[in-house]
Amino acid sequence: MIGSAVDLEITDVAFGGEFVARHEAELVFVRGTILGEKVRARITHKRKRGYLATVEEILRPSPARIEHPWPLGSVAQTGAANYGHIELTAQRAMKAHMLRRELKLAGLTSGLGGASPEMFTVDPVPEADPAAPGWRYRTRIWVDKLATGVGMYVPNLGKHVPLTEIPLASRRLEALQVCGNAWDALATTTEPFHVQLVAPSASPPLLLANGQAFSAPGQPAAPVVREVVEFQGEKFWYELAADGFWQVHEYAPALLVASVFDAVSVTPGDTLVDLYSGAGLFSQVAAELVGPAGKVRAYEGNELATRAARKNLAAYPWAEAYALTLDAQTIAEIVPGADIVIADPPRAGLGAQAATELARSSATQIVLVSCDARSMARDVTAILQAGRQLTYAHALDIFPNTHFVETVCAFV
């Protein structure tokens, strides 16, 4: 079967930017297609479950198919924009299909904890650049420095391709002029190396390379950025390491703060625990909401992020940040006494055991923020199977033109 070209009907949306078909009763996962299409694809690999295939010809295109605006980002090349061949509204429909499929595969049945996979739809977010819908939104992006300019590695070609533009990158990053030869003095070797471009909301853009930060070619800068997030008419200020974690979409921090605190009812005097708190995005807002009569305890595994959180919480003596490796055991130890728990784990999620421990805690409200459909489905199902009720499910399209989607779920 491997090496064969087969005609396939695309019947579902899988995880990781893949789509589902069947051939001779075998599952086939296909990239670069759209739900409802008929394609001719070549089977390339055997998997533990099914086969992987690449599209060679679109036999019946979807009405949602468009010409990819950035061919280098397509599945056939880097895959950096692996949904770019799909119209934006249809992208969100595909992501909703993916979320529902992952929830069903994880064992979520309609009625469990008042939930149903059909509750999950994907909402659009404001455009970072209205002139380029779905593009120009990333304030953090990684590219490879070449002898001249920057590029991206194309696996099918086995080499780097120079970039003349980075359509996913925020317009504010254009000030760094990385696609020309302005930064070539950094390339002291012929081997490509990673550089990060950062466009903070409240400080100048930076290029990070070889452990240093630069505001312009030959101009070193402090490796620190400032961010500002507005919530309910108030501005919250954050300072963190330039290479520290921060949401990559221009508007994601404010959108997620609004969604999280819409999902729960916070009252003055509450005790709130923030798991995987990073630089304190949610913790600072929570500290304002619970007031001096309340408490906020923020826990984060990264020491540098924890230091940033302490600084960002300095105006709130009732809020503290701790560096701690989080797992099922530590979560069970630190959550008691909390009225509300917010968990925003990395892509791997909480894990079923940790999610179960969290669900069994005495917290009256739990919020789970997830950037990965598969780990979200596992964690949500574990929380519901432990007896919680789903009260809020919100999916945000903060990664347009890719298969990624952010979800906010709340439980009582």
Q: Catalytic residues, which ones?
A: 371
Residue 210, phi then psi, degrees to nearest 5 = 55, 40
Q: What is the helix (H) or strand (E) element at residue 385, kind and residue range?
A: helix 373-385
Residues 6+ apart with CB under 8 A from 330: 299, 324
Distance set, CA 188 to CA 66, 146, 183, 268 (Å): 41, 10, 11, 56
Distance set, CA 208 to CA 85, 172, 219 (Å): 31, 15, 12
With contact defined as beta carbons under 8 Å apart, do 297 and 274 qualify? yes
Q: What are the structure tokens assigned to 194, written together?
A: 């990673």
DSSP 216-279: ETTEEE-SEEEEEEEETTEEEEEEEETTS---SBTTHHHHHHHHHHHHS---TT-EEEEES-TT
276 is in an annotated binding site: yes
Question: 256: closest CA among 227, 285, 234?
Answer: 285
Number of neighbouring beta carbons within 10 Å of residue 263? 22
227 is in an annotated binding site: no
300 is in an annotated binding site: yes
Question: 315: closest CA among 283, 340, 345?
Answer: 283
234 is in an annotated binding site: no
Binding-site members for S-adenosyl-L-methionine are 247, 276, 300, 344
Annotated binding site, which residues?
Answer: 247, 276, 300, 344
